[in-house]
Each structure stands twice: as C-alpha cells, then as structure tokens.
Amino acid sequence: MTGHHHARGRRGFIEQTIDGLHSAMDRAMYADRSASGRGALQQLDPRVKVAGLAALILASAMAAKLWVIAAVLLAALVLAAISYLSIWMIATRVWFATLTFTAAFAVPALFLTPGTIVYTTPGLLWTITSQGLTTAGFLILRSETAATLALVLVFTTPWMHILKALRLFRVPVVFVVILGMTCRYILLLLENAHEMFESRKSRTVGPMTRGEQRRIAIASTGALLSRTFQLSGEVYLAMQSRGFRGEVYILDDFRMQTMDWAAAIGFASLTAALVWVGR
C-alpha cells in the first residue's frame, strides 16, 4: 500500500528526468518550427534581432522605474504578436516558470526590506514595506521581461543564425563553431538520453530505494559519457576526412535590406527613449 502510494504520490526521478528532457526537446522543436514562420521578426536580419532585443533587455535592466520596465514588456508582447507567437504559449512556457522561481526569491523581500510600513499581517505581525513591494516588483517584472525578450529572439530566429550573428559582437570564430557544434549535439544527446531513460522506465517494476535510484542515475550518466566520447571520436574523424586542419570558416551571408535598417533604427530609438525616461 505504501509502495503504491509512494509510486502515485511522488513521481520517481526517472519520470522527472524524462519530463525535463522532453520539454527541452519540445522547446527546440517548437523554436525550429516558429523560426521558419512568416511573422515580422522572422523576416529580419538575425544581427538586427540579436542586437535590438539585447538592447531592450539592457534597457529594462537599467530602468529605475517600474512603468518603464512594464513598457519594455509590452513592446516584447507586441513583437511576439506581430511574429505570430502565441501569447498563451509565452504565458505557460515563460511567465509561469519564471514567476514560480522569482517569487520564491522576491516574496521574503516584502518583509525583509526596511522602509515605510504599508501592511501588517494579522497573526504574526510581519510588516510589509512599500520599498519591499517595489523591490519585489522590480525583480519579478525585470526577469519576466528579459525572459520574454529572449524567448521572442529564440522562437523567431534559427539557432545557427543567432550563433552566427554573435560575430557582430566580435566573438571569436572558434567560439562560435564550438557553440554551434554543441547546439547540434545537445539535440542528439537529448534524444539518446531520452531513449535510455524510456527504456529503463519500461523495465522498472515497483518502487526503487534511493540508493538504487542513485546507482541507476550514475550508471546512465556514465553510459551517456561513453557515448559522448565515442561520438566525439567519430566527429573528429569526420572533420578530418572533410579536410579540417584547424582553420575555421563560416559563411557570413547575411545582407541588410531596407527593412533591416528601418528595424535597426526603430530598436535603437526605442531603447534610447526607454533608457532616457527610465533614469
């Protein structure tokens, strides 16, 4: 009875890990699909998008007024809407996850921040200060805004284009190549790990002790590590067979169109205005 209750009441680590892997794969696939959509941002040069959205994140980080950060969030939502990204998807994927994490961090600040008392809880006599409310608002609004902007970028631009656009910030080519390869193999390893845990789950009957679970987790990680090394060897051979001798070239085939220049000017002036009023 206890075992049954345990299995139903608290999900095992295998299920939790499968869920995590699944949502990461899901996110990657959704990003791939939506990045090839026909929305406004999808049509823009990736360099403009990376620089423009990064500038907006910076503007929200620099703002010392809550309403300015709210305005950046509104701008992010408008950009998402004209790029045909579902607001419901943003709410469930970003806002909810960020809120649960940041609220846990921000709520104690309501009581711990010294300042003008605006409310005292009846039983415990804990005091909430107006400064506490403001600081919690800053934390939550800023992290939600930045997460939304990051998601808008990732869901409207193919990953490889984002990485290529990093060259705009003078990121060395080798680093961009390593980032690109890592992205590609993360997806492969995600699938490997997912299959491994699924097959383990299908062979598991009844509850396991913590020790057994830990041993399985370490053994699976070890197996994945072996596969990683094996794959690394194969990739190296493949690179050599294609003539890799240490020099890295990437195709910089982005070309700025009139629309891209207009968008760049738009992002720049919006950011400048927000930074100015947010002082």
Residues 105-164 that bind other proteins (CB under 8 A): 105, 108-109, 112-116, 130-136, 138-139, 141-143, 145-147, 150-151, 153-154, 159, 162
Q: Could you report how far apart the first and last alpha carbons of the chain are, in Å?
A: 61
Shortest Å distance, C-beta 233 to other proteins: 7
Residue whose CB is less far from other proteins, 218 or 262: 218
Position 36 contacts other proteins (CB under 8 A): no
Residue whose CB is less far from other proteins, 175 or 261: 175
Q: Which two tokens stand for residue 150?
A: 């990051």
82 class by beta-carbon count within 10 Å (0-12 exposed, 13-18 middle, 19+ buried): exposed
For residues 14 and 204, the answer to whether their CB atoms sit within 8 Å is: yes
d(CA 217, CA 224): 11
Q: Which residues of 125-147 are buried (b: 16+ CB within 10 A; e: fewer)?
A: eebbbebbbebbebbbbbbbbbb
Instruction: Pick one of 34, 42, 83, 98: the residue that binds other proteins (CB under 8 A).
Output: 98
- DSSP annotation of 165: H
For residues 250 and 164, the answer to whether their CB atoms sit within 8 Å is: yes
Residue whose CB is less far from other proteins, 67 or 261: 67
Shortest Å distance, C-beta 258 to other proteins: 28
Residue whose CB is less far from other proteins, 162 or 274: 162
Position 213 contacts other proteins (CB under 8 A): yes
Residue whose CB is less far from other proteins, 31 or 263: 31
Q: What values do phi and psi take at 127, rounded to 5?
A: -110, 135
Instruction: Pick one of 243, 246, 253, 255: the residue that binds other proteins (CB under 8 A).
Output: 246
**169-188 mask for other proteins (x: CB under 8 A)?**
---x-xx-xxx-xxx-xx-x
Q: Which two tokens stand for residue 76?
A: 């992010």
Shortest Å distance, C-beta 134 to other proteins: 4
d(CA 14, CA 139): 33
Shortest Å distance, C-beta 187 to other proteins: 9
Q: Which two tokens stand for residue 41?
A: 């941002």
d(CA 109, CA 96): 20
Position 30 contacts other proteins (CB under 8 A): no
Position 58 contacts other proteins (CB under 8 A): yes
Shortest Å distance, C-beta 251 to other proteins: 18
Instruction: Pick one of 101, 126, 261, 276: the residue that binds other proteins (CB under 8 A).
Output: 101
Residue whose CB is less far from other proteins, 95 or 254: 95
Place of tokens 């929305």: 39
Number of helices (H) and strands (E) in the chain: give both, helices first: 11, 2
Shortest Å distance, C-beta 40 to other proteins: 21
Residue whose CB is less far from other proteins, 201 or 259: 201
Task: Work out the widest C-alpha separation in the chain, in whole angstroms.
Answer: 74
